[in-house]
Chains A and B, each alone.
Chain A
Amino acid sequence: MLSNLSSDVIIVGTGVVGCLIAEQALDAGFSVLMLEAGPRVSRDTIVENYRNLPPRLRNHWNAPYPPKPWAPHLETRTESEGASYLDLTGPNAKAYEQGYVRYAGGATWHWAGICWRMTPDDLRLKSLYGVGRDWAFSYDVLEPYYARAEHAMGVCGPRDPALQWPPNTTRSRPYPMGPIPFGPGEQRLTDVAATIGMQNLPAPQARNSGVSFDGRPPCCGNNNCFPVCPIAAKYDAATALPRIEAKGGKIITNAVAYRVETNSQKKIEAIHYFDPNKTSHSVSGKIFVLACNGIETPKLLLLSADEKNPHGVANSSDQVGRNMMDQPKLVADVEMTEPLWTGVGPVQSSSIMNTSQGDFRRDYAGAMFRMENMARSTLGGLAALEKGLYGKALDQEIRRLSACTARLTVEHEPLPLSFNRLTLSDKKDWLGLSRPRIYYDVGDYVRRSATQYTVPLLKKLAIALGATDIKISPEFLHSDHIMGGTIMGNDPADSVVDADCRAHDHDNLFLPGGGAMTTGGSGNSTITMAALAIKAADAIVGQLNHG
């Protein structure tokens, strides 16, 4: 064992959750040390990686982020790559092919930036509809943290309360920036959806709208939010790293945490990690934060099983690794007679949210509908060439396929189901650590929603858009919103963390982020993860000040 560095706060993971907590602890005067499993790569390298990809990989969001052997993440470019890290089983294994990035800055490198808050009802599924669980607190408790998260990341959104989400709630602060304009595709979708009772709202998004924010430039419509915003107009945690260092934070990259060590008082004593030479090191501190989201955090807790913690650290409830969630997604590729022209502005900039709420949730899942606003010229170009066309006919077909096609998606709210479970696989990774094995079944709640509710609605929406051809994905896909795994609750017997994301079993261990989410809602998870991170950071700073 080598160096034993120490710090007030040890944070594993340099994604949005880790970075928000690091900055808050540093601002409060505490020392911070961050461990990152993967490498730290500059934006210009990622941007040029993207441009150097063959066109068929340009919509493969992980392709510009080749993993290091010691920090593998899921790759699905080939069958063998797909089988090389996550060990997925169950009827909907394909719906858990989560595309996160083990690089400094984490998966916000290629998130869409969409920031839908959960609604008051989303937090009370059990008491309202008799399904899932209730959160440990109500929306009123979460609201100020949402507002702080929006201001920490720089979220733009509509000024008109009628266009804000959740409806009929009070915001403690306005969005720091106004909305980003719609391109033709999103405007058309909005107009058409309205005719069938679906309200397409301008999305709150962590993207600078018209003005700079935090030294980052405003969005100029590069239409490349994923796989990488080339100019950092979209918030990603990589942009926070220099600031964290300027404030005195330390970041160790290529450091794969593999063991959380507890002492006889059930306190966390140290985190052990491997460097790329497979040499082990450890770091000690007062407060420990595992901010590796809903797959890597439970994996690390389970890997840390020892005599004192026979089922893994923080796992007296046996809930670590259970309740794995994501919004099971269906996509419809549609072709229309009239041009829709997606691809103007950010790659996602609006969603239909009113379909996610209602009494029907007793019986089946609510869902969010949206249209990808990605420029379809690459897809259109390749498809037209496949047809063997040339000359003016080729040009016309590329233009038609780019303008008159679209991808609609529907993302279903998941329930926390204990059988959707992450365990340690007997297959090992490059370092010899167990890979995560995940069983995933979207459940009848989602399946019923698809057959009775969302697929008919998806077809109706496509037809309203003038679709002449609709191809709906034959199975559920992943939305890359990893939730559950270290579920939050008031009862230590059936949950892993308390309302501040503090482990019930260890009072100096925090497990904030998507893993703590009690239910998933229909929207993208990051803003809720960020709000929980800030809430946890308040608790951490309070604990350091008084402990």
Chain B
Amino acid sequence: MGSPCTKLKINRRRLLLGMSALATAASFAQSRGLAESSGPPSQTDPVSHFMFVSRILVPHELDRFVGHRIHGALSDIEEDFDNKIKELQDLIIKTSSVDVEHFMPTLTDIKQKNTAMKIISAWYSGVINGKSKDHIIGFESSLMYKVTNDVMTIPSYAKSAPNGWNSTAVSLLNMPSF
């Protein structure tokens, strides 16, 4: 604070303050939007429709940022994807479905069922297998890691403090809550 060298630092800091503020704004610009309401979206944003359908198909807390990515990848490889989502959304509303267990049996059209399964698979596995290549959605956000996260770490991430684990086996029935 008082010494000459810190004074120099402070001056430089002020000079760079503007730049730093800009950088900060940029880095937060891509952070996700606010949590959505649970009802059907009224706006025309296709991602919002996709998220509404996803919330019925997948019994987990869903991240809109990840949803955005899945929607983008499926839109690229599935013809007319937004219309398919619209159809699914209409069906959900029509059948008053509140969860996937109720909704899936109401799907009689095999194409609609396939679309639903693709969406489920993308959320769980973090990948969409396209015709010519795999579309990677994410790794850490893959829901398949959530159902064992009371015991297993997502590979490559620390489980605990060094040597902080033990051999206690956990019941299968104690499903973590998400």
| Stretch in A288-296, A306-314, A316-324, A383-391 with 4+ CB within 8 Å of B | A383-391
In the A-B complex, the 3 residue pairs with the smallest Cβ-Cβ separation, listed nearest first, are A381-B144, A221-B159, A187-B167
- Indicate which residue in B101, B168, B171 contacts A391 across the interface (CB closer than 8 Å): B101
A396 close to B (CB within 8 Å):
yes
Given contacts A221-B158, A390-B57, 20 further A-B contacts (CB under 8 A): A47-B156, A50-B156, A51-B140, A51-B156, A54-B127, A181-B163, A210-B162, A221-B160, A222-B155, A222-B159, A224-B156, A228-B156, A340-B169, A341-B169, A344-B151, A375-B148, A375-B152, A377-B144, A385-B124, A392-B59
Q: Which residues of B contact A247 (CB under 8 A)?
A: none
Whether B157 and A382, one on each chain, are in contact in the complex, defined by CB atoms closer than 8 angstroms, is: no
Whether A58 and B155, one on each chain, are in contact in the complex, defined by CB atoms closer than 8 angstroms, is: yes
Main secondary structure of the interface of A (DSSP, over half): loop
State the Cβ distance, A488 to closest chain B Cβ, in Å. 38
B175 close to A (CB within 8 Å):
yes
- Kindly report which residue of chain B lies nearest to residue A187, judged by CB atoms: B167
User: 22 A-B contacts, Cβ less than 8 Å apart?
Assistant: A51-B156, A186-B167, A188-B169, A209-B162, A219-B162, A221-B164, A222-B156, A223-B153, A223-B155, A228-B156, A339-B170, A341-B170, A343-B151, A345-B159, A345-B165, A375-B155, A376-B152, A377-B152, A390-B101, A398-B148, A399-B172, A403-B172
Whether B144 and A378, one on each chain, are in contact in the complex, defined by CB atoms closer than 8 angstroms, is: yes
Q: Mark A170-191, 1 if CB is under 8 A from B, else 0.
A: 0000000000111110111000
Q: Which residues of A contact B73 (CB under 8 A)?
A: none
Q: Mark A321-332, 1 if CB is under 8 A from B, else 0.
A: 000000000000
Q: How big is the B interface, by class?
A: 35 or more
Candidate in A210, A220, A388 with the most chain B CB atoms within 10 angstroms: A220
A394 close to B (CB within 8 Å):
yes
B145 close to A (CB within 8 Å):
yes
B139 close to A (CB within 8 Å):
yes
Considering the chains assembled together, what is the distance between the CA atoms of A167 and B160 in angstroms?
33
A400 close to B (CB within 8 Å):
yes
B161 close to A (CB within 8 Å):
yes
- Kindly report which residue of chain B lies nearest to residue A404, judged by CB atoms: B172
Residues of B97-150 at the interface with A, using a CB-CB cut-off of 8 Å, are: 99-101, 104, 116-117, 120-121, 124-127, 129, 134, 136, 139-140, 142, 144-145, 147-148
Whether A402 and B160, one on each chain, are in contact in the complex, defined by CB atoms closer than 8 angstroms, is: no
Instruction: Please judge, given known A-B contacts A51-B156, A220-B164, whether A395 and B175 are in contact too, CB under 8 Å.
Output: yes
Candidate in A208, A210, A344 with the most chain B CB atoms within 10 angstroms: A344
- Indicate which residue in B57, B99, B124 contacts A381 across the interface (CB closer than 8 Å): B124
- Kindly report which residue of chain A lies nearest to residue B146, judged by CB atoms: A395
Q: Mark A468-502, 1 if CB is under 8 A from B, else 0.
A: 00000000000000000000000000000000000
Q: Which residues of B contact A374 (CB under 8 A)?
A: 155
- Indicate which residue in B101, B144, B154, B167 contacts A398 across the interface (CB closer than 8 Å): B144
Considering the chains assembled together, what is the distance between the CA atoms of A263 and B40 in angstroms?
83
Whether A223 and B125, one on each chain, are in contact in the complex, defined by CB atoms closer than 8 angstroms, is: no
List the count of A-B residue pairs having beta carbons below 8 Å apart. 166
Whether A403 and B153, one on each chain, are in contact in the complex, defined by CB atoms closer than 8 angstroms, is: no
Q: Which residues of B contact A220 (CB under 8 A)?
A: 158-162, 164
State the Cβ distance, B165 to closest chain A Cβ, in Å. 5
B166 close to A (CB within 8 Å):
yes
Whether B163 and A377, one on each chain, are in contact in the complex, defined by CB atoms closer than 8 angstroms, is: no
Q: Mark B22-59, 1 if CB is under 8 A from A, else 0.
A: 00000000000000000000000000000000000101
State the Cβ distance, B111 to closest chain A Cβ, in Å. 15
State the Cβ distance, B128 to closest chain A Cβ, in Å. 9
Tell me the A residues contacting B by CB distance below 8 Å.
47, 50-55, 58, 180-184, 186-188, 208-211, 217-224, 228, 230-231, 339-341, 343-345, 374-378, 380-382, 384-385, 388, 390-396, 398-400, 402-404
Candidate in A381, A390, A400, A403 with the most chain B CB atoms within 10 angstroms: A390
Whether A209 and B163, one on each chain, are in contact in the complex, defined by CB atoms closer than 8 angstroms, is: yes
Q: Which residues of A contact B129 (CB under 8 A)?
A: 54
Q: Which residues of B contact A51 (CB under 8 A)?
A: 139-140, 156
Whether B126 and A55, one on each chain, are in contact in the complex, defined by CB atoms closer than 8 angstroms, is: yes
Considering the chains assembled together, what is the distance between the CA atoms of A407 and B121 in angstroms?
25
Considering the chains assembled together, what is the distance between the CA atoms of A52 and B101 in angstroms?
32
Considering the chains assembled together, what is the distance between the CA atoms of A23 and B148 in angstroms?
43
Whether B151 and A390, one on each chain, are in contact in the complex, defined by CB atoms closer than 8 angstroms, is: no
Whether B165 and A221, one on each chain, are in contact in the complex, defined by CB atoms closer than 8 angstroms, is: yes
- Indicate which residue in A53, A184, A210, A396 contacts B168 across the interface (CB closer than 8 Å): A184
Considering the chains assembled together, what is the distance between the CA atoms of A398 and B99 in angstroms?
19
Q: Which residues of A contact B134 (CB under 8 A)?
A: 54
Q: Which residues of B contact A341 (CB under 8 A)?
A: 151-152, 169-170
State the Cβ distance, B152 to closest chain A Cβ, in Å. 4
- Kindly report which residue of chain B lies nearest to residue A399, judged by CB atoms: B147
Instruction: Please judge, given known A-B contacts A344-B151, A392-B59, A396-B175, whether A183 and B167 are in contact too, CB under 8 Å.
Output: yes
State the Cβ distance, A398 to closest chain B Cβ, in Å. 5
Considering the chains assembled together, what is the distance between the CA atoms of A180 and B162 in angstroms?
9
- Kindly report which residue of chain A lies nearest to residue B153, judged by CB atoms: A223
Candidate in A182, A211, A381, A400 with the most chain B CB atoms within 10 angstroms: A381
- Indicate which residue in A210, A344, A385 contacts B152 across the interface (CB closer than 8 Å): A344
Instruction: Please judge, given known A-B contacts A344-B159, A381-B124, A390-B120, whether A395 and B139 are in contact too, CB under 8 Å.
Output: no
Considering the chains assembled together, what is the distance between the CA atoms of A398 and B104 in angstroms?
19
- Kindly report which residue of chain A lies nearest to residue B135, judged by CB atoms: A54
Q: Which residues of B contact A230 (CB under 8 A)?
A: 156-157
- Kindly report which residue of chain B lies nearest to residue A209, judged by CB atoms: B163
Whether A222 and B153, one on each chain, are in contact in the complex, defined by CB atoms closer than 8 angstroms, is: yes
Q: Which residues of B contact A58 (CB under 8 A)?
A: 155
- Kindly report which residue of chain A lies nearest to residue B113, judged by CB atoms: A388
State the Cβ distance, A224 to closest chain B Cβ, in Å. 4
Whether B117 and A390, one on each chain, are in contact in the complex, defined by CB atoms closer than 8 angstroms, is: yes
Q: Which residues of B contact A376 (CB under 8 A)?
A: 152
Whether A381 and B163, one on each chain, are in contact in the complex, defined by CB atoms closer than 8 angstroms, is: no
Whether A380 and B144, one on each chain, are in contact in the complex, defined by CB atoms closer than 8 angstroms, is: yes
Considering the chains assembled together, what is the distance between the CA atoms of A220 and B162 in angstroms?
4
Q: Which residues of B contact A396 (CB under 8 A)?
A: 147, 172, 175
